[in-house]
Amino acid sequence: MELRELEAFVRVVDLGGFRKAAETLYITQPAVTRQIAILERELGTRLLERMGKKVLLTSSGEVLYNYATQMLHLRSEAQRRVEDVREGTSGRLTIGASSTAATYVLPALLRRFRVENPNVELRVHTGVSSRIGEQVLRNEVDAGVVMDFPG
Percentage, residues of the chain above pLDDT 70:
98
Percentage, residues of the chain above pLDDT 90:
74
Would you state the pLDDT for residue 151? Answer: 57
Query: What are 47-91's pLDDT values in tens digits?
Result: 999 888 789 999 999 999 999 999 999 999 999 989 988 887 788
Would you state the pLDDT for residue 147? Answer: 84
Which range is least confidently modeled, 1-10, 45-54, 85-94, 106-115? 85-94
Q: Residue 28 — left, alpha, or beta (φ > 0 → left; ψ -120 to 50 → alpha)?
A: beta
- Cβ neighbours of 135 (radius 10 Å): 19
Rounded to the nearest integer, the mean pLDDT of the chain is 92
The predicted model scores a pTM of 0.66
Q: Decide which of 11 and 87 is more confident.
A: 11
Closest Cα partner for 18 from 65, 55, 68, 63? 55
Rounded to an integer, the average pLDDT of 126-134 is 90
CA distance 70 to 75: 9
Which range is least confidently modeled, 12-21, 23-32, 85-94? 85-94
